[in-house]
Amino acid sequence: MAVFVNGQTLVVSAVGPGKLHLLSYESNGGLPNHVGYLPTSKTGETRFLISHSYTFTKFAFFWEGSGEAVYGIGTSLVRQPVGTSWDSASLASWGSPTITTANVTSQLTSALTCDNQITAFIIPDLI
């Protein structure tokens, strides 16, 4: 089953303060790449939901922070480490059932900066 389907989510769990960076690229509508981050100042766990945009087909992300970060897909109990830079980013491709690792630095040169406006959201603690 693909990562981005109804009823399934891509969640990053990070410990400590830091930034979740997200690059959305390969637009099928002619838009420029979008890159940005979503910060957290929490000392404990922050959970981020990485959503998608129908305009883009690839979503690369990495964690820059004081603690570790892992991702999980849907209801699976499997957790994998999140990339720590753009040259070893975690990559979700439209239609793919898995997350891979990729060097996406070449996609950043034309990216529009959208800090705090990316398709990632902090999940409230009570959910």
| Extents of the domains making up the chain | 10-123
Residue 54: pLDDT band (50, 70, 90) is: confident
SS3 content of the chain, % helix, strand, coil (to 5): 5, 50, 45
Return d(Cα 119, Cα 65) in angstroms, integer.
Answer: 19
pTM for this entry: 0.93
For the residues 12-29, what does the mean pLDDT come to?
95
Higher pLDDT, 56 or 54: 56
pLDDT, mean over the chain: 92
Residue 127: pLDDT band (50, 70, 90) is: low
